[in-house]
Amino acid sequence: MHPLDTPKLALVMVGLPARGKTYIARKLARYLCWLGHPTRVFNVGSYRRERHGSRHPAEWFSPSSKEGERLRTEVAMEALEDMLAWIRGGGRVGIYDATNTTKARRRRVQERCEREGLKVLFIESICTDQSIIDATVRETKLHSPDYVGFAPEEAVRDFLERIGHYEGVYESLDDETQSYIQLIDVGRRAVCNRTQGYLTARLVFFLMNLHITPRPIWLTRHGESVHNVRGLIGGDSPLSYRGELYAQALAEFVKNRAVDGLTVWTSALRRTVDTARPLGMPTLPWRALDEIDAGVCDGMSYAQIQKELPNEYSARSADKFHYRYPRGESYEDVIQRLDPVIIELERQQNPVLIIGHQAVLRALYAYLMDIPGEECPYLSIPLHTIIELTPTAYGCQEKRLRLEPEAVLDEPSGDSPEKEFVR
């Protein structure tokens, strides 16, 4: 289904503070944007800080504070109206990131969204694990603008008091007429109610595989192949001598890291399988990780395509993201087939090494680094380089390491066709 064929959707977050709502909202936005559904998060806390500042004592969040209640309601409704205006202007999925702790508030939000013709899905984050709550408070909330300049102990005390005010009025989702997903302890358990529909079903599956365990994700292209040397795109050629040296260097890198429980994925093509062989460990080949299908251009050189298929060359130059090789694929197609890889990658709690191809790794890198899919064709994923990405609460930390010995493995002059055309 094309993204623009899906109904417009409002995702309404529900939950007490420090339950990971913003983390979940941002993960959802990143996933949906990557799949081609224009999505934006509207965080009510950001509106509150922008309109009324950040230095509010916990008592300001108490239901007994009439002034605090009035001002917080005003900014909540402002954020909601901005979300609806954005959707009217062409957005597809708006994520309303707020506590929405009472049934009355949720009914108000739902009725307003439905008057705009939106489907509403509530997403409630419930946490019963105190260790997760404590970690969330210290790792994220204490670094928020609300607590700049506070001593850690004072900030913790104030924030826990703020949570207590919300707990006093909190009502969990239990309306059988509403569409909702309840996530308990960051995906340990999920409860779904009235979650029919193509996009909603994908979101359920995605959310059920989320976790907050930090682990490195290594992305690397296969070693240089014989087709790289000959200037041909696609195919299923073996590694060149330089490619074999890179495979050995990669194995040494992994050995020196001595990581426990490493999972290694390759494509089903020979050049990635050969690159993984010196690792001496089990690997999982995925056809979903195969390089972009060049169709009738498979096995041709860059110069041949420019000479023999000038219209194709021009069409690709005009729109590299949407351009589809005749009887082949586009970058947009590659992203759609990588969806199950992303779900499995989110599920993994151990380190993962993915040995792949340039177009595919560009798409995965775009997802992990929250880069719009349209920018995929221009991302730098060079040969013989490891990209280490470590997911954090709201993004990824990145390191790059070039492995090949320069004296032996200097880059050849000229453009590599896989880098310059099949991308």
Residues carrying an active site annotation: 97, 127, 222, 291
Q: Please give the helix or strand (H or E) that residue 168 lies within, else none.
A: none
Spell out the residues 6+ positions from residue 188 whose beta carbon is closer than 8 angstroms to its own: none
For β-strands 284-286 and 119-126, DSSP reports them as unpaired
Sheet bearing 217-221, strands edge to edge: 284-286, 263-267, 352-356, 217-221, 385-391, 396-402
Q: CA 44 to CA 58: how far, in whole Å?
A: 17
Reduce the DSSP state of residue 384 to 3 states and report it.
coil
Contact 389, 219 (CB under 8 A): yes
Q: CA 386 to CA 400: how far, in whole Å?
A: 6
Q: Residue 191 — φ and ψ, nearest 5°?
A: -120, 125
Q: Give the length of the chain.
A: 423
Contact 126, 14 (CB under 8 A): no
Look at the block and give the residue holding tokens 């795109």.
233
Q: Which two tokens stand for residue 130?
A: 């105190």
Q: CA 342 to CA 25: how far, in whole Å?
A: 17
Q: CA 12 to CA 109: how far, in whole Å?
A: 8
Q: CA 70 to CA 362: how far, in whole Å?
A: 47
Q: Which two tokens stand for residue 20?
A: 């990971």
- The b-or-e profile of 232-253 (16+ CB within 10 A means b, else e) is bbbbbbebbebbbbbbebbbeb
Which of these, 40, 48, 69, lies nearest to 166 by C-alpha position?
69
Cα separations in angstroms, 279 against 168, 249, 256? 55, 10, 12
